[in-house]
Every structure is written in C-alpha cells, then in structure tokens.
A and B are shown apart, each in its own frame.
Chain A
Amino acid sequence: MQREDPGNASGRDSATPLVYLNNAATTWPKPRGVLSAVEECLRTPFFEQGRSTAGSAIDYLAAAREALAGLFRAERPDHMIFTRSATDSLNLLIHGFVSHENRPFHAITTELEHNSVLRPLHTLAAKGKITLSVVPFSEGHVSLSAIKAAVCPETRLVVMSHGSNVLGSLQDIRPIAEYCRANDLFLIVDGAQTAGQIPIDISEIPAGAFVFTGHKALFGLPGTGGFYLDDPEAIDPVQQGGTGTDSRSLFQPEGMPQKFEAGTHNYPGLASLLAGIRFIREEGQEKVARRCRDLTATFVRELSRDKNIVLYAPAPELPVVPFNIRNLDNDETGYILAKAYNIITRTGLHCAPLVHERIDGGSGCVRASMSYLNTEEECRAAAGAIREVAENADR
C-alpha cells in the first residue's frame, strides 16, 4: 500500500503520532501517486482541447472521464461532468432541473441529507418554485415505501444520498431508482460518501444523475467533483461560458460534456483525481471497501464496550462512526482528542442538521471516519484514547 508518512503535519504534539480520522470530510494522507501526479501536472503546460496548440502529453480531462466511467461502470464517459465539488454538482442539477421544468412541482428528499441538498431545495421552496417533502429515515435507512408514500401527482424530482455522512448507513438505492425511472421521477443520487468507498455500478442504478466528489474516498484534491448524467435533455445548464468549442455561437453548446462545463478546468485537481482512481483500481475497489469495513468494525467494537460512550450507529456500513461521550459536549471531546492525543475527528452537525435532530436532539456529535490508508493500530489507539477520555470525564 502506498502511503506518505503523515509525520506531524498538524503541528500539535510532536511526541504523539497524528491519527487522522476525518476522512468523511477529506481523505488524508493522499497516496504517493496522487502527490506526484499533481507535481507532474504543474510542471507541464495543460492540454486544453481546442484552446491551445501547446499541450502536455496527458489529456487529463479525457483520461479522468474514462477512468471514472470505468470505475463506476458508466456507459458514456462524455456524460461524466466535472465540477468543483459534490455541492456544486447538486446545485447545478437541482437548479438545472427546476429551470428545465419551468413550472412549480413537488420534490422529495430525506432527513439524511447534507445541506448541499437541503439548502438548494429549501431555497427553491421558499421562492415558490417547488413544494418539498422530507422523508424520514428508520435505523439510518430510507425505504422505498417511505418514498412511495411521499409521491403525489405533482412529484417530479427525488434527491437522496447513497450513504449518510453522519450515520454511515448505505441506502438500497437500486429499487428506489427503478421505481423513480418507472414513474418518470428524476432521481439525483448524492454519492459523496460512496464514490471510491464501495463498488458502484451506475449501469445497475437507473438514476437520472449520480453525484461524486473527488477529495474524499477517490483520493483527489479538494476542488474536484462531478456527476454522471443519464439524459442531458432533463437538465438546463445554469452556467454558461467558454468551452473552447463552437466559439462563434453566443449560446452554450448542446453537446456533452460542454453543455455543463464552462470555463477552465481544475487540471491539477483532475490529475490528482485520475491518480486517485488509478490507486483504487490497482489496490482493488473490493479490497478498499473490505478494509474500511474491517477498520470500522474494529473501532466500533472497541468503543461499544464503554457505557460512557454513546454510539449512534452500532453497525455502520460505511467507515463513519458517530458518537458522544457522556458529560462532555461534542466539541469538548474533539478538542481534547486533538490537543491531548493528536487525533483528528470532526464535531458538530456535519452539515446534516435533520439527522442530528433525530439522533441527538440537534446538539451534534463527534464523527470518526476512516480511510483505506488508516491502520488497525491507529484505530485501536484512537478508540483507546476515546475510552480514556470517557473514563476521565466520568470521574
């Protein structure tokens, strides 16, 4: 396994090795190949199709599209659209769908969603452009029957996550996608927590769009992301600009992927994404998923012994472990872990306020999230530290 020595990158406590467990936000460290790919990209002029006669040997855009399509088993690489993040993708898709519909309709989302879904939808609802139903989850999962119960004759759009960034639950998305396809509902699947984490076969998920981000389990840099769009006619482009193609036209090209990609791309980011995907392919997606499941199971097992630790997801399907320590606020726990143990977690609401209203009364929790590049030793050490803090908070 390739891994850069993390060293003391936090600058917190040089005597204690850093344990980074905030991978559901951004994975760190990155594989060595990712670091060298970015350096190589920056050393050579960018290959910009149609824009420049000088170019590097690597067409990062085309290569990354092909690599993603291969990883996700998507049929058409040119339907793989690059954006700057999953949030950017979700906004382009949601607002683009509303623009294309051009009349008010009903949309459905779930309590599990991130603010990158909730905020665009609520903003549109406040402007009277949509009406919105928020479907509840049960034990971390949203059932097809719950989606069906929310559907009405005016429903046109369903937006939901593939995996929860708080509970680590994985949705059984295929039957929901099949139901939406059969009933002419446009389904946007937010795969921010699943892309690169588990095997994904888009050809088996008949969704309207599948959203990914580059900086989490795909091991790319922040500032990379995108979506796979099945039917480009369903979405209006909400951004217009230079594409390097059909430049005499004063309107956005209709062809893919230019219809949804305006402006200069993030070439170093795409180089990192390409290298991240190659790393996953070399290691094996099944192996990545299995290792993360094992690390998570070890971590949960270690914490579940302690009565002073509240686990909100006893058996997460993704490497995300939400918890609190009795007698401490979540931000206090995170602070003590960071400053006294050099363990990096994330605290608060994780941009998913409706989940927290259900699990902890809206006050938030600590989230530990592992990556393929964490070790079992790190997970055991972190769990031991958390148990120690819990014990001392109870004294």
Chain B
Amino acid sequence: MRIVRSNETKTCVDGSLLKEFVLDEPLTPGFLIFLQAFGTVKEYPHMKRPYFSFEQEHFLSIKGFSGDTSIEVRYKKEGIGLTGDYFHLLLYYFREGDPGKAKMLGIAGSIREKMKVRLPPEDKERVP
C-alpha cells in the first residue's frame, strides 16, 4: 500500500497532529494483523462499515474501515518530529511480511530511545 495523497491536517485538542491519508488500495485484514505487532488493534466488524482502531501509546493512533482507502492517523504530541515517517514505514514494511515486521520493531525501538533522550527525566520512565 502507498499513500496517494493527504486530505486533511489539523491539530487536535490534546496537541496531537491528525492527518487523513488516501491509499492506493483498500486496507486489508492482513494489515490489521501486521499492526498487532506494534500496538493494540480493536476491531468492530459488525459496524455498518467494519471499523478498526490502532493505538501505539507513545507514537500514534489510527482509525479507519477495513476495505476503505481512507485512513486517519493521529500523531501523539510527545513524539511529533520523531514519528512523522512511522506510518509511511508501516505501509512500506507491511509489503515485506515477517522480515518487515522485524525491521519495523527495530525502528520502533530506535524511536523510543530517541524519545527518552528528548523527554524530561520524569517522563522518560513512561516510554518503555
């Protein structure tokens, strides 16, 4: 999957940055399984359209519908600057399957370490 365009960017109440992306192909159940390696995926398959959400506590959250080409990504305030490419990389490494998952976990670890360096001491312990 690739991003075709970004439809909307806005800053949310909590300071997070929300972007709506349009993908070149619909989101698949396989992508949701891939996401499970990096955070919490909630699925509501009985909704009028099968809704899902993904939460990576410190980086971003994602909302969308399976089978849709539109997706909403919310970059958490504390990670902005480090996580700008994270969603793009998720899409890229999804193509590679399990090897991609391992690479992506490595990238996530690297982002966490950088976040710890940037965060004030009291917040460092919050980033696992």
Q: Any chain A CB within 8 A of the CB of B77?
A: no
Q: Any chain B CB within 8 A of the CB of A29?
A: no
Q: List, in ascending order, chain A residues with CB within 8 A of B72's CB.
A: 335
Q: With A332-B63, A335-B63 in contact, is A395–B13 under 8 Å at CB?
A: no
Partner of A339 from B13, B44, B53, B70 at Cβ < 8 Å = B70
Name B18's closest neighbour in chain A (CB-CB): A331
Interface residues on B, range: 10 to 19
Measured CA separation A349–B14 after assembly (Å): 10
Closest Cβ of chain B to A255, distance in Å, is: 42
Q: Any chain B CB within 8 A of the CB of A388?
A: yes
Interface residues on A, range: 10 to 19
Q: List, in ascending order, chain B residues with CB within 8 A of A388's CB.
A: 48
Q: Any chain A CB within 8 A of the CB of B51?
A: yes
Q: Which of A321-341 contact B (CB under 8 A)?
A: 331-332, 335-336, 339-341
A340 touches B51 (CB 8 A): yes
Name A349's closest neighbour in chain B (CB-CB): B13
B53 touches A392 (CB 8 A): no
Q: List, in ascending order, chain A residues with CB within 8 A of B51's CB.
A: 332, 336, 340
Q: Any chain A CB within 8 A of the CB of B95?
A: no
Q: Any chain B CB within 8 A of the CB of A389?
A: yes
Q: Any chain A CB within 8 A of the CB of B126?
A: no
Q: List, in ascending order, chain B residues with CB within 8 A of A332's CB.
A: 51, 53, 63
A392 touches B13 (CB 8 A): no
Q: With A339-B70, A340-B65 in contact, is A393–B48 under 8 Å at CB?
A: no
B65 touches A339 (CB 8 A): yes
Partner of A392 from B46, B63, B65, B68 at Cβ < 8 Å = B46
Closest Cβ of chain B to A11, distance in Å, is: 10
Q: List, in ascending order, chain A residues with CB within 8 A of B47's CB.
A: 336, 340, 389, 392-393
Q: Can you pick out 9 interface pairs between chain A and chain B where the beta carbons lie within 8 Å of each other?
A: A331-B63, A332-B51, A339-B65, A340-B47, A340-B51, A341-B48, A364-B13, A392-B46, A395-B46
